Chains A and B, each alone.
Chain A
Amino acid sequence: MFDAREFVLSFFFLSFFLSFFIQMTRLDEWAKYYEKKYPKVGRLVVE
């Protein structure tokens, strides 16, 4: 059965779900945003 409420909410949910997936490929722009706004302190090293 088609449910309009389910359809709309699923669209919102999927939008956010997919946007998190896509943003993993756009980390450069995210880094640019932080670089413009906040001072750098150092580097992170994962051991």
Chain B
Amino acid sequence: MDLISSLGLVSLTIFLIFMLNWISGPSSRRKAEKPNESGPGESTDSGAAAANPTPTPDRIFTLEELARYDGTHDDGAVEMPCYLSVKGVVYDVSIGREHYGPNGGYSVFAAKDASVVSLLLLLLLLLFFPNGSSSFAASTVDFKMMVQLNFFFLSFPCRRSESPRLILLTVTGITVPSILAR
């Protein structure tokens, strides 16, 4: 009975998430992209510029070098800039130091390859919930910890949905219902 109900819950969640993404995501993106589309007869320069608006600088970082730029003070009490890497490109996020800095909510992403951090968080979840989510009564995680974990994951980079009718929240590109974030 428990197995059946948990399977139902998993399939319901998968279905709802994919439906919400399908409804809210692509339509708003298509509207935004329409004015930028160039016709077939136009020159290809504008298309190339839109595909790569700012060229990546030639400076090369290793993971050890990137780990120094976490916004903390260096040995000489010099405040280091905040850098993070997504898909092999390093970005300077010093403007958002209050978020990406040492005490910020997104400090997990700073000075790292941020595209791997999410995978590490998945592994962390698997450590916390070895028995699966719907049987947490039997695991070591109690109700209070479950609530705390959910609020922890709500602190990830979020933005409101562009659609006015659907009150949704997009967490790092994925749309979830914003019941807790209203």
Contact = CB atoms under 8 A, between A and B. Distances in A.
Contacts, number: 151
Contact of B59 (A17, A19, A43): A43
Q: Could you say which interface size class chain A belongs to?
A: 35 or more
Contact of A44 (B95, B113, B136, B173): B113
B122 A44 contact: no
A42 B93 contact: no
Nearest to A13: B133
A3 B149 CA distance: 19
B136 A43 contact: no
Contacts of A34: 84, 86, 89, 91, 93
Interface of B: 5-6, 9-10, 12-14, 16-17, 21, 53-63, 66, 83-93, 95-96, 113-115, 118-119, 121-122, 125, 129, 133-134, 136-137, 143, 146-147, 149-150, 153, 171-174, 176-177, 180
Given A10-B134, A15-B177, 5 more contacts: A18-B14, A20-B122, A22-B21, A40-B55, A44-B89
